[in-house]
Structure 1
Amino acid sequence: MERLGTVAVVGVGLIGGSIGMALRAGGLAREVVGVGRDMTRLDEARDLGAIDRGTVDLASGVSDAEVVVICTPVGRVAEDVRRAAELAPRSALVTDAGSTKRSIVEAVEKTPRAARMFVAAHPMAGSERSGAAHARADLYRDRVCILTPSATTPRAMVDRARAFWSALGCRIVEMGPAEHDEVVAFTSHLPHALAASLASAVPADWLPLAAGAFRDGTRVAGADTELWTAIFRENRGPLMNAVGKLQDRLSALKYALMTDDEESIRRWWDDARARRALFEARQPPGPNA
């Protein structure tokens, strides 16, 4: 990717801050502008090296941008995309980092100018921690970024989005918005739901006896409540399906325990062990996220 001029990052938390750090560390943009609601936090993001300058005025932040990246909560993404597309140059690429895609793409498609400029994206990287203080330049290195263009998204814009996210270190996968939401319901949203369920299932006075399995299995339960409430609501249909499949697996174990079926318990565990090994074998070297 040729060096960009101005890149505007709307929402400079962990995700947006890491985008800014990656751009600045790689010399990929002349200027990274952070757009947010709180100037104090934007100043902190600048001091951390996530942005070159910050503003609470969206029009000022995107007026000269070649690329605008929307990193706000999923419930706000579509409206922020439409507003940014209206205020940015017509030639700008607008992309996002939202964890759901179907409702965002459908909403943006209702505004022709925004639809021509927007390529929906979901970089599969993050942390249970939030805020620019936890951002890092290598967050996206060797992570998958899923692009979900619609049937009407200009191919030239998709190519620009591929180049942008690739420059941050991502491996690019394309799929439809609905397929994306079904996949991440199982691979991302369900594990978060399971971690939260496990964390709340253990009585508080037994926690001093919990060890590594509890710690590892509940790590992402420490993530932001409002963030995950919004994600679960946005993707509730696919997530309900995923929860049902998990309940089926737990019911199979419960029945095997009830009947003291040693062979069924063994097969139940071996199936999971083999799937975990397949996951490990397919993971590239790189930072944990």
Structure 2
Amino acid sequence: MGTVAVVGVGLIGGSIGMALRARGLAKEVVGVGRDLASLEVARERGAIDRATTDLARGVAEADVVVVCTPVGRVAEDVRRAADSAPPEALVTDAGSTKRAIVEAVEKSPRAAGMFVAAHPLAGSERSGAAFARADLYRDRVCVLTPTTRTPPGRLRRARTFWSGLGCRIVEMGPAEHDEVVAFTSHLPHALAAALAGAVPADWHPLAAGAFRDCTRVAGADTELWTAIFRENRGPLMNAVGKLQDRLAALKYALMNDDEEAIRRWWSDARSRRASFEAQQPPSV
């Protein structure tokens, strides 16, 4: 893939760099960031070959640019990268929301002609290049959200790039993506944080596996998830409403001591969980 510039070398960007280098897919991986100390961590971990805090310089010779900055900055960083990268370069991203990013990028004709929006569904409650892994994307879904303005050649290259990291490719529109991940990703994070916040700290000695598993992602970065919630607030509000309806049904069944309603409520959830498990690849 020639030279790949990773803009934002944290967990996501660092894992992209490690996967590229482990699989021998890039001639050089350039890390672009704001903090040289953090970039040095990425270099020591083997995520990048060299580092710079100058975005224009970092992407100047790139064949592929991957923007992995927080969602509120992605569109601007994509536009800046497109302005400085060679005109034939592919620019893609790893943002957890898509509609607002795509709409903002497509206001720039040059950026629109180089950009393919992407969301690799992989991550961790931990952050930073220190926790990056070369296998983070193996057998994970990466959603591409092309529009009518996406050049077919760039889309083909984006498929090749993300599948080269081990991803399974799914394509859908940006708005549909945001609606789906509001339920499948953003709502679970909100629920984990709500549960963690509802249990008093002095009760933690009595909390065991269920509490640990259900609240794991509540340990994720606050600023990251604040930005994601704001960026996708409409679909997330809808998802929260559906969850409230689901909890209200349980509350009503409990109020009436309705054994059969409680059983149906749980059995429906159990069958949906089984369906989810059956669709997961063996390595996930």
| TM-score category (smaller protein) | over 0.9
Q: Deviations over 1:119-163 (max 9, x none)?
A: 000000000000000000000000000000111101111110000
**Paired residue for 2:276, among 257, 276, 279?**
279
Question: Structure 2 matches for 1:100-119, cutoff 5 A?
Answer: 100-119=97-116
Q: Return 5+ residue gaps in structure 2 as ranges.
A: none
**What amino acid is aligned across from residue 12 of structure 1 in structure 2?**
V
Residue 164 of structure 1 pairs with residue 161 of structure 2: yes
Count of equivalent residues: 284
Hey, what does 1:64 align to over in structure 2? 61
Do structure 1's residue 240 and structure 2's residue 237 form an aligned pair? yes
- 1:30-51 Cα distance to aligned partner (Å, 9 max, x none): 0000000011111111011000
Aligned residue type for 2:28: E
Matching of residues 246-261 of structure 1 within 5 Å: 246-261=243-258
Distance 1:233 1:58 in 2: 26
Q: Give the structure-1-normalised TM-score.
A: 0.98
**What's 2:128 paired with?**
131
**Who is 2:186 aligned against?**
189
Amino acid at match of 2:26: A
The residue type paired with residue 72 of structure 1 is: T
**Secondary structure in structure 2 of the residue aligned to 1:231:** helix
The alignment partner of 1:8 has SS state of strand
2: CA distance between counterparts of 1:9 and 1:157? 17
Q: Secondary structure at 1:186's aligned position in 2?
A: helix
The answer on 1:29 being equivalent to 2:12 is no
Q: Give me the CA root mean square deviation.
A: 0.5
Q: In structure 1, list runs of 5 or more residues that go unmatched.
A: none
Q: Where has structure 1 moved over 2 Å in runs of 4 or more?
A: none
**2:128 and 2:173 mapped to 1: Cα distance?**
30
- What letter matches 1:109 in structure 2? E
**Aligned equivalents of 2:173, 2:137: Cα separation in 1:** 22
Tell me how far 1:96 sits from its aligned partner.
0.1
Q: CA deviation at 1:255?
A: 0.1
Matching of residue 48 in structure 1 with residue 45 in structure 2: yes
Distance 1:60 1:107 in 2: 23
Match of 1:17 in 2: 14
**Aligned residue in 2 for 1:38:** 35
The one-letter amino acid of 1:178's match is A
**TM-score with structure 2 setting the length:** 0.99
Question: How far, CA to CA, are the matches of 1:248 and 1:192 in structure 2?
Answer: 18
1:85 aligns with 2:82: yes
